[in-house]
């Protein structure tokens, strides 16, 4: 499905391509420990509302024509809802996760088992990594974050596992503990338009900021306000960008580039430091 739009007299192509996602229902979601600055076990979670918000996200993907598979949630794994952390899947191959914190380590097995049942070859990692939380895929490369949850050594291991070049980026602000909290792939470059990203520069070290400027000089630069509502924790199909509803300014920036922002409210899941992308593992073809 292709959308053609005209802005300021110039014709720009935005192509929305059907995607395949894996999600985990928030059946056992709660904030019972703190492993990032967003989490506070003393702040109550409305579990019913969390389920409703998550279900709206799932139905949003389906309404846009995308396929959503589900993994069965497991008791005592409250963060399993954040499916993006479960691995990196590209071209029928997967690099499995190996979580840094003990509270999440059992998720690695759960997601690896699902991948194997789906007949996706999954490489079991030696190095610490948190899947698509720190690996974001474009057509010609994979961006890889380090600094908080994923080691530099895992970048090398991932490149070998999925046979793709990896560009390392260093994260320096603990509020943006995963790459997918401060950088969004808007167009992966597999359609008629060139690859395009959006990011929040202050989340990165100086040399990583330079890397991003050199690779994507025309990237959308997200404001601090929109970054702090996890606006960049978004999912794009090349035209439709599903993003947190509070990131109003970022939505306006997307419209100016001919994208179609699709806002959703995941306020309950934000209490654990996650939003749209965190809930979504893409099974890249």
d(CA 21, CA 235): 10
Q: Are 56 and 103 in contact (CB under 8 A)?
A: no
The verdict on whether 178 is a catalytic residue reads yes
Question: What is the distance in angstroms between the CA of the first residue and the CA of the last residue of the chain?
Answer: 17
Q: Are 104 and 79 in contact (CB under 8 A)?
A: yes
Annotated catalytic residue: which of 24, 182, 278, 279? Answer: 278
The secondary structure of the chain in percent helix, strand, coil, rounded to multiples of 5, reads: 35, 25, 40
Annotated catalytic residue: which of 24, 66, 155, 178? Answer: 178
Residue 284 to residues 21, 136, 190, 224, 250, Cα–Cα distance (Å): 9, 11, 11, 30, 25
Which of 125, 98, 124, 94 lies closest to 20, judged by CA?
94
d(CA 188, CA 146): 21
Written as one string, the DSSP assignment of 180-246 is: GGTEEEEE-SSSSSPPEEEE-GGGB-HHHHHHHHHH-TTPEEPPHHHHHTTTTS-EESSSEEEEETT
* Residues recognised as catalytic: 178, 278
């Amino acid at each position: 499905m292709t959308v053609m739009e005209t802005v300021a007299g110039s014709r720009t192509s935005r192509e929305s391509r059907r995607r395949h996602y894996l999600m985990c229902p928030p059946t056992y979601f709660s904030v019972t420990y703190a492993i990032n600055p967003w989490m506070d076990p003393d702040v109550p979670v409305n579990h019913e509302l969390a389920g409703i918000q998550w279900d709206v996200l799932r139905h949003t993907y389906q309404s846009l024509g995308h396929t959503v598979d589900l993994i069965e949630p497991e008791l005592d794994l409250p963060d399993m809802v954040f499916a993006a952390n479960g691995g990196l899947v590209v071209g029928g191959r997967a690099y499995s996760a190996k979580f840094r914190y003990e509270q999440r380590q059992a998720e690695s097995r759960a997601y690896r088992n699902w991948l194997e049942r789906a007949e996706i070859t999954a490489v079991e990692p030696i190095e610490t990594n948190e899947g698509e939380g720190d690996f974001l895929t474009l057509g010609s490369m994979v961006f890889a974050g380090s600094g908080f949850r994923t080691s530099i050594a895992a970048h090398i291991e991932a490149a070998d596992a999925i046979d793709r070049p990896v560009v390392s980026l260093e994260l320096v602000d603990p509020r943006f503990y995963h790459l997918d909290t401060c950088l969004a792939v808007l167009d992966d470059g597999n359609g008629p338009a060139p690859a395009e990203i959006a990011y929040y520069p202050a989340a990165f070290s100086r040399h990583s900021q330079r890397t991003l400027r050199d690779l994507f000089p025309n990237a959308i630069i997200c404001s601090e306000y929109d970054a702090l509502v996890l606006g960049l924790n978004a999912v794009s199909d090349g035209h439709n960008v599903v993003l947190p509803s509070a990131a109003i300014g970022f939505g306006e920036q997307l419209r100016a580039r001919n994208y179609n922002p699709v806002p959703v409210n995941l306020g309950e899941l934000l209490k654990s430091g996650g939003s749209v992308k965190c809930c979504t593992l893409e099974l890249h073809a």
